[in-house]
Structure 1
Amino acid sequence: MDEEQLRRGRVYGADHDSADPGPQPGHSYRELVAGPLDGLLLDVTGWPAQDLADGAALATEIGAYGFGGRACYAPRPGDARHWDWTGDTAG
């Protein structure tokens, strides 16, 4: 993902009323692809290598399980900058 794409993106978990919900300088991000969080950026700054390899189950109200549910994302093989949706879980 190039710098222009980063500047346009919205970061997962950013406050909806934030004046700048986009990426911040000096942070590392992964782009979420498909599923309920499609197009959002996930701030992975400081994550250990094992966590980056495992992916994440991210809280969201807009997934299959509603409030309390999670959307699961994993690194795309051969392109770790993009994390693909692998399904939803009840939490």
Structure 2
Amino acid sequence: MDELMRGRVYGADHEDPDPGPQAGHVYRELVGGPLDGLLVDVTGWTERELDDGAALITEIGAYGPGGRALYEPRPSDPRRWDWGGDVP
């Protein structure tokens, strides 16, 4: 089993009995920063969107509730997205 198929998915409710990845979906692993270890569901994203990465809302980043954590694909392994900092 692919190691990316384990873990909790970004945005899953803390009360969700199955917060892990779902069959038929495509994920990227977030590395570093406030969302380290979570998976982000990129099912249906275009190549350009995947290349751009994401600014993900988080309450636990440097800017508190409503702030965003920036993640971009790792050049050597685009299945993993590295943290690039927080923005308001």
TM-score (norm 1): 0.92
Query: For the Cα contact (< 8 Å) 2:4–2:27, is it kept in 1?
Result: no
In the other structure, the counterpart of 2:38 is: 40
Partner of 1:86: 84
1:33 CA drift (Å): 0.1
Which structure 2 segments of 5+ residues have no match?
none
List structure 1 runs of 4+ shifted beyond 4 angstroms. none
* CA deviation after TM superposition for structure 1 residue 22, in Å: 0.2
Task: Return the alpha-carbon distance in structure 1 between the equivalents of residues 30 and 41 of structure 2.
Answer: 11
Write the letter of the residue equivalent to 1:80.
Answer: P
Aligned length: 88
Aligned to 1:24: 22
1:3-82 equivalent positions in 2, closer than 5 A: 3-6=2-5, 8-82=6-80
CA distance in 2, matches of 1:63, 1:37: 8
Aligned CA-pair RMSD: 1.0
Partners of 1:22 and 1:41 lie apart in 2 by: 8
Q: Look up the equivalent residue of 2:84 and give its one-letter code.
A: T
- Please list the CA deviations of residues 47-79 of structure 1 after superposition, one character each: whole Å capped at 9, or x if unmatched: 011000000000000000001100000000021
Normalising by structure 2, report the TM-score: 0.96
